[in-house]
Amino acid sequence: MLTLDMYACISKTTSSARFEGLCARYRPDVFRFALWLACDGAIAEDVVQETFLRAWRAIDSLADPEAARSWLLAIARREHARLYERKRHTTVHLDDLIANDDPALASVPSEDSDIGAAISSLDTDYRKPLVLQALMGYSTEEIARQMGLTRSAVLSRLYRARLKLRVALGTTDVADGTSAVRALKATPQSCTA
């Protein structure tokens, strides 16, 4: 006969094994998403740590293992937002930069920042599926489930997003606009904030 202490021990062991499986499987996805959000490796690591800490505390609330990835990414998004709720960034007046001849004024935007700016300029309906596919590696079916759309609607939005991205970047060498998406995948440190 199981006692209450024995049941608690079995439950903890099961939760621990379940959590370790989540960490092993989804940590790279959570890190990639956090890096995309934060544009800084150290901040992304902090977000990942906090994400998995919160996930550990709430592991028993995850009823559907198929939803684990979305659940963890939602936690990561909230953890990233919490960083900026607590933190006040210092601002610098442009006049001060000009007066000091700050070299930051002469910096040339990189191709990565052009891609990031172009993605950021897309409507949310187009940006979200593109980011989920290009950065997070979601399949069309996963994107459809997460966004509550049909597979056809997701494919349509991805196609239109690539066309809009191609126009924004002025790239016409690839008919379907995937050159910009390939460039985005190749530069995980690109910032699209």
For residue 48, give every residue at least 6 positions away whose Cβ sits within 8 Å of its Cβ, in sequence order, or none. 27, 30, 31, 34, 76
Asked if pLDDT for residue 154 goes beyond 90, the answer is yes
From 29-43, 96-110, 146-160, the region with the lowest mean pLDDT: 96-110
pLDDT digits (tens, 9 = 90+) for 61-94: 888 878 888 889 889 988 988 887 766 656 666 6
pLDDT digits (tens, 9 = 90+) for 97-147: 566 665 555 454 555 567 778 888 888 899 889 888 887 778 889 899 888
Predicted confidence at residue 132, as pLDDT, reads: 84
Predicted confidence at residue 45, as pLDDT, reads: 94
In Å, what is the CA distance from 17 to each residue of 48, 56, 69, 151? 19, 11, 17, 34
Q: Sorting pLDDT into bands at 50, 70 and 90, what band is 172?
A: low
Predicted TM-score (pTM) of this structure: 0.48
Residue keyed to tokens 């601002």: 91
